[in-house]
Amino acid sequence: MIDQLRRYVPVLDWGRTYSRTAFSNDMIAALIVTIMLIPQSLAYALLAGLPPEAGIYASIVPIVLYAIFGTSRALAVGPVAVVSLLTASAIGQVAEAGTAGYAVAALTLAFLSGGFLVLLGVLRLGFLANFLSHPVIAGFITASGILIATSQLKHILGVSASGHTLPEMLHSIYTHLGEINVITLVIGVLATAFLFWVRKGLKPLLKRMGASPLLADVLTKAGPVAAVVATTLSVWLLGLDASGVRVVGEVPQGLPPLTLPSLSPDLVGALLMPAILISVIGFVESVSVAQTLAAKKRQRIDPDQELIGLGAANLGAAFTGGYPVTGGFSRSVVNYDAGADTPAAGAYTAVGLSIAAVGLTPLVYFLPNATLAATIIVAVLSLVDFSILKKTWNYSKKDFAAVAVTILLTLGLGVEVGVATGVLLSILLHLYKTSRPHVAEVGLVPGTQHFRNIHRHQVEANPHLLTLRVDESLYFANARFLEDYIQKRVTSGCDIRNVVLMFSAINDVDYSALESLEAINSRLKDMQIGLHLSEVKGPVMDRLKKSHLLEQLNGRVFLSQFDAWQAFAGKS
């Protein structure tokens, strides 16, 4: 009972061995992540079309809940760029930004996403994320990064613009170029340039000046805070808001409120599919980061429990004024590099953000929207990776086509179409590859008992014996392919008397494939050609024994391919 409880509440496991050293490391990591997260959370809320405080609210209770239910010791949960963009796209179709209905829709979206993730976790369906190919996800994230950066140009320019696709955004910005606010443009350009320099050049400079690695790291992560402070003071002291510089304005002071999502059938129906898509993309991004960081310390995460942890975090956001959250890449890497030992670092980060929500929110009244836009642009451009196009082109034209189509559709038709296309392409790509399995005709390597492809190696072959190695499990999508392949091979004017199917690479045979094997056996029997199997794996043999195939088989089952060769190769 206790072990089962620890499985679903991992804090009961790692909490037993929590030490002073871990506390010290977690506190340092929490300080660095908190400094980084304050401007990020405000910026991502702006990206989602929500009030800036929603970003802070979404970064407090969700982090605590993940620390209790999550398995990664370094994952930092909260608002992220891609999910914020998906949120804006989803709820922008059911409510107008700035209205109460928009905020309620965001809560409902987090609630649906959290519920879906928890359901997947309880049913242990974390493996479903494996159906999303990495190239397709990389293409979607690259396109999303471009969309996000483009969507923030209006704040850098100080103009009003709209749109959910790249052509719409660019056209809208172009038509409003005459409204550019020069002061806003200067603030935005300087803030963007400063943040890029901080990311690339500040740490080396500080180290050359003799700063310790920890101090250099903290000051580098505090770069966005410095940009926030400098631009906020400039607007306040110079009264730039009176000159048209748009600022954050009043942010409610206090801890996250208790909120309730809407269960309106119309709203739930409209947001259900976007919630599922957000859940899938968020989980894939989160679990990828978590697994990468866990591997560095020889730790492991449980994907099914991660679903529950992320689901709990999203449910927490739904009831505390937030919106959908997931594990952020840059934030988690910072958390790991800062030395976080346990998920408690996230809980301490929540405490720091709570203090900021209570005491610091009045200080951001004069914070320019252009600075928050600069923070988003610098953060998301690191997601843009066009090298995936070159890599997939060189490796697999099919993967390249999937990536290219995902990027183009996401940019041209919007993120929801891009997500749906990415999921569909991943599944179709898998089905296409497995529906046409690699089938090798093999022969004996001289002087050995090994068999290799006759078209790749110098091997011994016999014109009366056809040995085929199928390099894929047999199931409904490829069963007919094997039928057609054998039919063409034995009717091409050759003198084949025996066919051996080498099952060394076959891990499963479903019922459709079983029927195909029976059909192959029947046709070969009519042609007076023996059908034989070799190297059948135990689980596959167990399944075949439950059918009539082995009883009706027009041949034998051999333990090894070499046994089959010895039985038939010498026959004329």
- Catalogue the E-assigned strands of 345-460: 439-444, 451-453
Q: b/e map of 185-222 (b: 16 or more CB within 10 Å)?
A: bebbebbbebbeebbeebbeebeeeebeeeebbbbbbb
482 near 507, Cβ under 8 Å?
no
Spatial CB neighbours of 289, under 8 Å, sequence gap ≥ 6: 75, 327, 328, 329, 332, 333
pLDDT per residue over 439-473, tens digit each? 999 999 998 999 999 999 999 888 899 999 999 99
User: What confidence score (pLDDT) does residue 228 get?
Assistant: 87
554 near 527, Cβ under 8 Å?
no
Kindly state the DSSP code that residue 178 receives in the 8-state scheme: G
pLDDT per residue over 130-179, tens digit each? 666 778 778 888 888 898 889 889 999 988 888 888 999 999 999 998 88
User: What confidence score (pLDDT) does residue 251 get?
Assistant: 84
Helix-strand-coil percent breakdown of the chain, rounded to 5?
A: 65, 5, 30
The structural domains of the chain, with segments of one domain joined by +, span: 2-428, 439-568
pLDDT per residue over 109-134, tens digit each? 999 999 999 999 999 887 776 666 77
Percent of the chain having pLDDT more than 70?
A: 97
Distances (CA, A) of 314 to 65, 81, 318, 353: 9, 16, 6, 17
d(CA 440, CA 505): 11
d(CA 437, CA 417): 30
519 near 549, Cβ under 8 Å?
no
322 near 57, Cβ under 8 Å?
yes
pLDDT band at 6 (very low <50, low <70, confident <90, very high): low
A 10 A CB-CB count for 23 gives: 15
Distances (CA, A) of 64 to 40, 116, 251: 18, 20, 23
Percent of the chain having pLDDT more than 90?
A: 39
Nearest alpha-carbon partner for 358 in 56, 52, 44: 56
The pTM score is: 0.77
Residue, of 301 and 57, whose pLDDT is higher? 57
Spatial CB neighbours of 303, under 8 Å, sequence gap ≥ 6: 126, 127, 129, 287
pLDDT band at 492 (very low <50, low <70, confident <90, very high): low
pLDDT of residue 569 exceeding 80 = no
Q: How would you class 527 by CB atoms within 10 Å of its CB: exposed for 0-12, middle for 13-18, buried for 19 or more?
A: middle
Kindly state the DSSP code that residue 38 receives in the 8-state scheme: H
- Mean pLDDT, rounded, of the chain: 87
Question: Taking the domain 439-568, which CATH number applies?
Answer: 3.30.750.24
40 near 375, Cβ under 8 Å?
yes
pLDDT per residue over 218-240, tens digit each? 777 777 888 888 999 999 999 99
Query: Facing residues of 452 across strands?
Result: 443
User: What confidence score (pLDDT) does residue 206 get?
Assistant: 83
Kindly state the tokens that stand for 274: 């976007």
Kindly state the tokens that stand for 233: 């003071």
User: What confidence score (pLDDT) does residue 572 get?
Assistant: 41
d(CA 263, CA 306): 26
404 near 389, Cβ under 8 Å?
yes
What values do phi and psi take at 319, rounded to 5?
A: -100, 5
d(CA 394, CA 58): 41
d(CA 510, CA 514): 6
Spatial CB neighbours of 381, under 8 Å, sequence gap ≥ 6: 145, 149
Encoded amino acid at 5, one letter: L
pLDDT per residue over 502-547, tens digit each? 999 999 999 999 999 999 999 999 899 999 999 999 999 999 999 9
Query: Facing residues of 443 across strands?
Result: 452
Residue 480 belongs to what H/E stretch? helix 479-490
Nearest alpha-carbon partner for 50 in 62, 40, 42: 42
